[in-house]
Amino acid sequence: MATPSATIEPADSSGYATIVARGKLVTDAFNVVGTNFAAIAVDQGGVALLNAGTITGAGNGVWVANNGTLEITDVSITVTGQAAVNTSNGATVDILGMPNVFGADKTSLTGGSYGVLCHQGNLNLFTNAGGSIHIPDNPIAGISALGCNVEANGLATGVISISNNGVSGQFSAALELHGDYAILNTVKIANNLDFGISATAAAAVEINGSTITGNSGTAISASQNAVVDIESFHGINTMTAGSSGSLFGCYQGGKI
């Protein structure tokens, strides 16, 4: 049975956001059309729980700033602004892939440049059995983290896929990790134009039971004292060299 949906449109496309959450916001089965800046802004300690729906527009999908908290489940974000999810200054973002009350699951993040642009915060991706998170078709990066801790756990038969990102002639990576740490458990990173993972600026990255294949650039790059650990507690890692790059690349003090 299809998920029902209603739509929220902006009062003014030049406004800050269609919905501003500074208290607690819950949406169930809503399509939100954004302004030129954002569809939903979560700031000043606000909390937004978005369940089942879509977000579209010319700006960011969800802007999370100033200690805002966002949790999305079964939400498809396709916007042409900078990022599907864009964070700043103490944001906490949970992206969940799990069947909702309507039995559907279509969590997907595509922005004009980034799927998730995480600055100074925490980003968690989690799937349970039957759930999925897809981050495709982002020109610069599926996930770009700067001062942001990233944890991705594709548990049970859940799928976290950061694939088919990048555009020709643009340096890009499925994951750009600048500093802080990232834990990638059972994540698929495939068929991206350019790098699979680019870890820089002393980032600490742990890869476990993941697939990094079919990318055009180097599969895993560690530079500027970044350290990448590859472990197999969550299953076998499957990795192939980029069609125009290496399997591993270490530069400027980076270690794998």
User: Please, which residue, 30 or 126, has the CB nearer to other proteins?
Assistant: 30
- Answer yes or no whether residue 160 interacts with other proteins by CB under 8 A: no
Selected range binding other proteins among 13-21, 133-141, 166-174, 175-183, rule: CB under 8 A = 13-21
CB of 106 vs other proteins, minimal distance in Å? 16
- Answer yes or no whether residue 71 interacts with other proteins by CB under 8 A: no
Rounded to the nearest angstrom, the gap between the alpha carbon of residue 108 and the centroid of all alpha carbons in its chain is 9
Q: Which residues are registered as beta bridge partners of 90?
A: none
CB of 102 vs other proteins, minimal distance in Å? 10
- Answer yes or no whether residue 232 interacts with other proteins by CB under 8 A: no
Q: What is the rounded distance in angstroms from the CA atom of residue 135 to the CA atom of residue 45?
A: 26
- Answer yes or no whether residue 5 interacts with other proteins by CB under 8 A: yes
User: Please, which residue, 21 or 83, has the CB nearer to other proteins?
Assistant: 21
Radius of gyration of the chain (CA): 17
Neighbour tally for 22: CB within 10 Å: 14
CA distances (Å), 109 to each of 72, 139, 159, in order? Answer: 11, 12, 14
User: Please, which residue, 46 or 81, has the CB nearer to other proteins?
Assistant: 46
Strands 107-110 and 132-134: parallel
CA angle (141 as vertex; 111, 108 as ends), nearest 5: 45
- Answer yes or no whether residue 167 interacts with other proteins by CB under 8 A: no
Selected range binding other proteins among 38-46, 189-197, 205-213, 226-234, rule: CB under 8 A = 38-46
CB of 107 vs other proteins, minimal distance in Å? 18
- Answer yes or no whether residue 24 interacts with other proteins by CB under 8 A: yes
- Answer yes or no whether residue 6 interacts with other proteins by CB under 8 A: yes
- Answer yes or no whether residue 252 interacts with other proteins by CB under 8 A: no
Six-digit token string for 105: 């699951």
Total of residues contacting other proteins (CB under 8 A): 26
Q: What is the rounded distance in angstroms from the CA atom of residue 24 to the CA atom of residue 45?
A: 9
Selected range binding other proteins among 17-25, 79-87, 146-154, 175-183, rule: CB under 8 A = 17-25
Closest Cα partner for 200 from 186, 220, 183, 170?
A: 220
Q: What is the rounded distance in angstroms from the CA atom of residue 22 to the CA atom of residue 64?
A: 11
- Answer yes or no whether residue 235 interacts with other proteins by CB under 8 A: no
Report yes or no: 42 and 23 within 8 Å, Cβ to Cβ: no
Give the footprint of other proteins on this chain (CB under 8 A): 4-12, 15, 18-30, 44-46
